[in-house]
Amino acid sequence: MILRVDREVFGKDGLLESHDVRYFLTSLDPGEVTPSDLQKWVRDHWQVENSLHFVKDRWWDEDQHYLKNAGNIFVKLTNAALSMLRLLQRPGESVREIAENFHYSPRKALQTLGFNKN
């Protein structure tokens, strides 16, 4: 089954800002799935893309990093770092905000993670 998803983004003024069309291919039987199920699966797919890959690709430039070819260790370290940032995230605070604060104050990051200087 081929699924077409039209996406429209409207600004606060109610005017159309952008429109795009995406196609998805699935082995699901059209007689056994509802349009609501398909919408949920598409949204879940983009949730993973937006919350994980976007951060790794845009903020940490993982796709372009020369260590990417060094094996899984780099990927595991970036995944661990992202997981730690999400665990430390407070309501209303972005992961990027936490990462930038730690970037400018590595001592604070170490203390937050339990590496206190004695």
pTM of the model: 0.48
Domain assignment of residue 59, yes or no: yes
Domain assignment of residue 100, yes or no: yes
Q: What's the 3-state SS for the chain?
A: CEEEEEEEEECCCCCEEEEEEEEEECCCCHHHCCHHHHHHHHHHHHHHHHHHHHHHHHHCCHHHCHHHHHCHHHHHHHHHHHHHHHHHCCCCCCHHHHHHHHHHCHHHHHHHCCCCCC
- How many angstroms separate the first and last alpha carbons of the chain? 62
Query: 78 lies in which domain range?
Result: 35-112
Count of structural domains, the chain: 1
Domain assignment of residue 8, yes or no: no
Can you give the pLDDT of all 118 residues of the chain as single tens digits? Answer: 888 989 888 988 999 999 999 888 888 888 899 989 888 888 877 766 666 666 777 766 676 766 656 667 777 787 888 888 888 888 888 888 888 888 888 888 888 888 876 5
Q: 101: buried, middle or exposed (CB in 10 Å: 19+, 13-18, 0-12)?
A: middle
